[in-house]
Structure 1
């Protein structure tokens, strides 16, 4: 019985260690993704509210998006790679976007809170 139990426990332990998915090096972690996606959502909202033609708003958004990446000190290629990585795991992406939505709701409920900090 001990011969069967020990390998079984080792197998369970090994599989539990492997199931904890860690973000590979060179990609953004969950916190960074939430912060950048939050800024992107806010920027998209601002640009869509501008009274300018679509092609002009696309140019404005491109410039503001570059500013977001500079603000966070992240190259756009790293963000793109990170998005591809997180999109492969629907549950993780749902968790990230749930946090983004929660943050947007907090900002909407408490306008100007960032300026006070």
Structure 2
């Protein structure tokens, strides 16, 4: 996948997203959506995992906010192990059109509706 606007130079998509663990509007801040996801990388020692919300110029027709699952790969790759990695993200303020989220990885994506 090509580099996105909010992607740092040394970041890449994680291989796959396994689960959207948390998706909630915080009680103490009603305008903040918090998300956490678990994914898998192709080797050990990936660092600085994060979920980056896509900036929408116009509301998406499906009401789904996309998040890119990025992390920084190690200098050398040992593909004998495919460890899990976790990341967090947020949207502040919560868009009025929001109906759910989609987390994008290199090989797949997952969606979850807002409860």
Q: TM-score range by the shorter chain?
A: under 0.3
More strand by share: 2
- TM-score if structure 1 supplies the norm length? 0.24
Task: Give the TM-score normalised by structure 2.
Answer: 0.24
Bigger helix share? 1
